[in-house]
Amino acid sequence: MRTSPVWNPEQYGKYADERGRPFADLVDRVFADQPATVVDLGCGPGNLTATLLDRWPSATVRGVDSSAEMIEAAQPLTSDRLTFEVGDLREWTAPPGSVDVIVTNATLQWIPEQLDLLPGFVRALRPGGWLAIQIPGNGDAPSHAILRELAATPPYAEFAAGKSLRADVPGPAEYVDALSAEGCSVDAWETTYNHLLSGDNAVLEWVKGTGARPVLQALPDDLRATFEKEYGARLAEAYPQRSYGTLLPFRRIFAVAHLLAR
């Protein structure tokens, strides 16, 4: 098992409604008819995975995540139809033709070689199966640009340079090309959500649960506090708090692939 920075389910759970909207929009485009087996790769704390039980009442659902902390948080949701396990997406396999639906939501952006994984995911699908992908496409937004710039400057660079997410991720057209080559019919698109966040320095609280996590955890305790203060001040300037909240534009990329009958 590969090691990675520790996830904090409580911090990640802040703004859960906003984080859940893209998942719902993604699953809404999966037109599977009574699937028997559904897998959520990168399931996190399992709250969104659990919604798949109502989406497909006859299915058994399995959540997989590389974070032991996330899987521990998900375990209270376990039932006879819903299970969770620790596993790395880069090493995940299933018997060919054994899965009806694979969902991977806000996960593949962490894997530079993600397009290389898609053929294996498709092979796991039964004929007529579905693969649904959503990733953030906001790597060039101020929240991430400031993070990369600050992490690359002294005294932080010694520990944190290169720890933040890259700006470049596949776009819809790249998913169409890659998945069409695997015998799939592909629906790919992008959406920019304008999230209205509550609370002080809300964008800092948002990114502490996701994109800023590897940088913050790479820093020693004394530097982490200084970094967070400086990063937070710059975020507050880039995303000013108004009387009605803080606006966070957030681009996301979607691809839904339907495996044609072999």
Question: Which CATH number goes with the domain that contains 52?
Answer: 3.40.50.150
Question: Does 122 map to a domain?
Answer: yes
Half-sphere exposure of 19 (CA within 13 A, CB side): 23
Q: Which of 110, 112, 175, 142 is nearest to 250 (CA)?
A: 142
Question: Does 132 map to a domain?
Answer: yes
In the chain, what percentage of residues exceed pLDDT 70? 93
Predicted confidence (pLDDT) per residue in 167-182, tens digit: 689 999 999 999 999 9
Question: Does 2 map to a domain?
Answer: no
Count CB neighbours of 124 within 10 A.
22
Question: Does 3 map to a domain?
Answer: no
| N residues, the chain | 262
Question: Does 4 map to a domain?
Answer: no
Domain count within the chain: 1
Predicted confidence (pLDDT) per residue in 185-205, tens digit: 999 999 999 999 999 999 999
Which stretch of 4-8, 18-22, 121-125, 236-240 has the lowest confidence by average pLDDT? Answer: 4-8
Q: By three-state DSSP, how is residue 2 classified?
A: coil
What range defines the domain where residue 35 resides?
9-259
pLDDT at residue 164 in the model: 74
Give the pLDDT mean for 128-144.
95
What is the model's pTM? Answer: 0.92
H or E element: which one contains 195? Answer: strand 184-197
Question: Does 246 map to a domain?
Answer: yes
Q: By three-state DSSP, how is residue 13 classified?
A: coil
Q: Which of 36, 51, 37, 100 is nearest to 258 (CA)?
A: 100
Question: Does 69 map to a domain?
Answer: yes
Question: Does 95 map to a domain?
Answer: yes
